[in-house]
Amino acid sequence: MQPPVTPASPAPDSVLVVLPTFNERESLSRVVAEVLDLTDAHVLIVDDASPDGTGAVADALALADPRVTVLHRPAKLGLGTAYVTGFQQALARGFGFAAEMDADGSHRPRDFPELLVAARAGAGLVIGTRWMPGGAIVNWPTHRRLISQGGTAFARRALRSELRDLTSGFRVLSREWIEQLGLDRIDSEGYAFQVETAWRLEQLGCPVAEVPITFVERTAGRSKMSTRIVWEAFVNVLRWGREVRRASGALRVAGGSAPTGRN
């Protein structure tokens, strides 16, 4: 079922927060309430047929507040495809920005206004960054930190990126740069979507701002991370890294210089 079109045309600086959900019944209401209370954003919940009743909770939230809409999908189709669908809805409904955010409470809504300030100041992509001064992670064991930092370092090196948190899923993207990104060209289904979109925007010359956030390990529900998702990210980063090396080689042959990333 497609979400209803917003009755009034959104303002140019309006924001649609895309919240993918799968079994997030315990945390969804709180996250949505805080986002609506702290910002002027609208919320689109993309639920992948959660067996725990998350879809019904989402419908109740939409009935209670016209700023909330829901898209029910027939099965668990992946985080990346949920965001692509959400971004398409943001463009179709006239929003100036689309935001990514986890529905499990790990991304604090209180940090969201700072991301919006940076987006409305001109950044085409704003990343809520854990690995920078002012950023923090709460309740992660040491091995989780090492895995996350190692994966980020691997992706940065392979893709020759200057972005400090390529895997962060707390973001705001402007309409202009979503259109330039080309959603039909995104092929990542899982968390590799975060790396792919940030890196491709960086390559396009998108102005990127990184804002420190505090990431809090979820206290309800279960993580969606799996071996398959990690493998997809690893294979895709290697493939995209080959693209970077081929492009650099072609530029050297032509006598040019390879593009550099930016913070």
Q: What is the mean pLDDT of residues 92-112?
A: 96
**Average pLDDT, rounded, for the chain:** 87
Percentage of the residues of the chain whose pLDDT score is greater than 70: 80
Residue that wins the pLDDT comparison between 20 and 227: 20
Give the per-residue pLDDT at 230. 64
pLDDT grade for 7, boundaries at 50, 70 and 90: very low
- The domain ranges of the chain are 15-253
Q: What is the mean pLDDT of residues 111-121?
A: 98
pLDDT tens, 176-223?
A: 999 999 999 888 877 789 999 999 999 999 999 999 999 998 665 555
Question: Where do we find the tokens 């949920």?
Answer: 82
Give the per-residue pLDDT at 10. 79
Give the per-residue pLDDT at 17. 98
Residue that wins the pLDDT comparison between 36 and 217: 36
For β-strands 171-174 and 97-100, DSSP reports them as antiparallel
Is the pLDDT assigned to residue 238 strictly greater than 80? Answer: no
Percentage of the residues of the chain whose pLDDT score is greater than 90: 65
Name the fold adopted by 15-253.
Spore Coat Polysaccharide Biosynthesis Protein SpsA; Chain A (3.90.550)
pLDDT tens, 82-99?
A: 999 999 999 999 999 999
pLDDT grade for 145, boundaries at 50, 70 and 90: confident
Give the per-residue pLDDT at 152. 85
For β-strands 214-216 and 136-138, DSSP reports them as parallel
Residue that wins the pLDDT comparison between 236 and 42: 42
Residue that wins the pLDDT comparison between 119 and 243: 119
pLDDT grade for 172, boundaries at 50, 70 and 90: very high
Give the per-residue pLDDT at 6. 47
Q: Which letter, b or e, does each residue of 29-48 get, where b requires 16 or more Cβ atoms within 10 Å of its Cβ?
A: bebbbebbeebebbbbbbbb
CA separation (Å) from 99 to 83, 192, 204, 228, 249?
9, 17, 19, 25, 35
| CA distance linking residue 255 with residue 258, whole number of Å | 10
Phi-psi label, residue 172: left if phi above 0, alpha if psi -120 to 50, beta otherwise: beta
